[in-house]
Structure 1
Amino acid sequence: MKQYKAIFFDLDHTLWDFESNSRIAISELFVTHNLQNTGIPSAQEFIKIYKVVNAIMWDEYHRNLISKEHLRYGRFERALANFGVQKRELAELLSVEYLQICPVKTLLFPGALSVLEQLKQKHSLHIITNGFKEVQYLKIKNSGLMPYFDHIHISEEIGFKKPEPDIFNYACKQARAVAEECIMIGDNLETDIAGARNANVDHIFFNPDKIEHNANVDLEISHLEELIPVFIK
């Protein structure tokens, strides 16, 4: 693979282990608010539904169909409704507390810090994320990621979201590089991979669960450690 001036990383599901951190946070909320008394069988059952609802609503947000606030409380409202719990106030309370608890969890994908430490020696590293600024900065700071990155690009601050080419163009400009000198690493085939391709930025698909797909990707990895031989010769 050619030499790159800048490496762009997605945050959630790529470096920061969203699924594990979210599962811990929701399990804590399930106990704190005695959700089992509302008729929800278990934290595991609630998390299973929440995961599906959250993915659907993030897709709606990416397509500008819903607002930030609707996403935040709506995912809990819809998840609760799946169990016949129609309590808007409870959904809003869970939303507020979830955003206080989850971002301070610190689980990263295996090898994340050691890989970043090695890549940082010869490359300019950047994060491009569609998350919300107050939440994403907490994740980055608390998990020890901040020192490795020259720039943190958060869609809410920039005004563009992945997969829009403008957010990649902005990141390239901040890296003082042209698109052909940059590469994007992420887990989402639409926002990260198709988005990068449409901006003429090379990409690596991070697929830790080895999901089957028919997408045409430049390179695919399932462990972050696989990046070392790609970038360090």
Structure 2
Amino acid sequence: MFEHEVTDVFFDLDHTLWDFEKNSALTFAKILADNKVDVNLESFLEVYAPINFQMWALYRENGITKSELRYQRLRKTFDALKAEVSDEVIDVLAHDYIAYLSSFTHLLPNAVQVLEYLFPKYRLHIITNGFQEVQEKKLRGSSIHQYFQKVVNSEMAGVKKPHPYIFEMALDMAQVAPKNSLMIGDNLEADILGAKAMGMQVLHYNFHKDSNHGECVMIDDLIEIKNIL
């Protein structure tokens, strides 16, 4: 399946192991109610999801700061919904979202089964663009932190995937050659093309139902990893 022996497997976290969509929805249900923001949750999430995706793309490219990301994704969502929400309330929501997000611990289907399967055979690591203060809590809260030897995030590296340095840092910390490493992630640009450019082997978890791109093997369910590794 792979050209070289794989000794180390690097996972993305959000949308790959940790069920970001479900946990984010539960967080918004709580904080919108707590702050008495009168919007329909389903409508809010439908508008918010693509805006958040766009804002993260800008953040990856250093087009906006972390604080701008946290504010703008909410401001743009409420504006699109024509909901009158003050900047003061948005600031509280932005804070509460980060505070409560990691308290919800749903993982994607078969995540634990696959980690249990891989753990005795490979060294496992995380490379994530998420915020440092949140990602560690996600790993511990969902009880999967013990599977991973190295956890590298974009704030530690000072750059975000697909920048080569974050992959270089992770490989150096794990003390493994790129050719013996496998990157598994959901984002074609950040995870797959970024890792591939560093000489790593790659496996695309097709969470977003992208069309087949020919860059590498694609899987639709994490359990398929057991047939590959």
Q: Is the 8 A contact 1:25 1:102 kept in 2?
A: yes
Q: Is the 8 A contact 2:32 2:93 kept in 1?
A: no
Q: Within 2, Cα distance between the matches of 1:66 and 1:78? A: 14
SS at match of 1:7: strand
1:111 aligns with 2:110: yes
Q: Which amino acid aligns with 1:120?
A: F
Q: Within 2, Cα distance between the matches of 1:151 and 1:193? A: 19
Q: Within 2, Cα distance between the matches of 1:213 and 1:88? A: 39
RMSD: 1.3
Q: Within 2, Cα distance between the matches of 1:83 and 1:104? A: 27
Q: Which amino acid aligns with 2:220?
A: S
Q: Within 1, Cα distance between the matches of 2:85 and 2:25? A: 22
After TM superposition, the score normalised by the length of structure 1 is 0.93
Q: Is the 8 A contact 1:21 1:102 kept in 2?
A: yes
Describe the superposition over 1:140-171 as per-residue Cα deviations: whole angstroms up to 9, x where unpaired: 11001100000000110121210011111111
Alignment partner, residue 157 of structure 2? 158
Q: Is the 8 A contact 1:189 1:215 kept in 2?
A: no
1:28 aligns with 2:27: no
Q: Within 2, Cα distance between the matches of 1:31 and 1:148? A: 35
Q: Within 1, Cα distance between the matches of 2:49 and 2:154? A: 22
Q: Within 1, Cα distance between the matches of 2:28 and 2:133? A: 19
Q: Within 2, Cα distance between the matches of 1:54 and 1:208? A: 16
1:44 aligns with 2:46: no
Q: Within 2, Cα distance between the matches of 1:100 and 1:29? A: 10
Alignment partner, residue 143 of structure 1? 142
Q: Is the 8 A contact 2:212 2:218 kept in 1?
A: no
Describe the superposition over 1:38-95 as per-residue Cα deviations: whole angstroms up to 9, x where unpaired: xx3x110011111111111100000100001111122112111212325111111100
SS at match of 2:13: coil
Alignment partner, residue 66 of structure 1? 64
Match of 1:14 among 16, 19, 22: 16
Q: Which amino acid aligns with 1:16?
A: W
Alignment partner, residue 91 of structure 1? 90
Alignment partner, residue 168 of structure 1? 167
Describe the superposition over 1:126-145 as per-residue Cα deviations: whole angstroms up to 9, x where unpaired: 00000110011111110011
Q: Is the 8 A contact 1:6 1:125 kept in 2?
A: yes
Q: Which amino acid aligns with 2:93?
A: L
Q: Within 2, Cα distance between the matches of 1:204 and 1:6? A: 13
Counterparts in 2 of 1:217-228, with a 5 A limit? 217-228=215-226
After TM superposition, the score normalised by the length of structure 2 is 0.95
Shift in Å, 1:217:
2.5
Q: 5+ unaligned residues in a row in structure 2: which ranges?
A: none
Q: Is the 8 A contact 2:111 2:222 kept in 1?
A: yes
Alignment partner, residue 185 of structure 1? 184
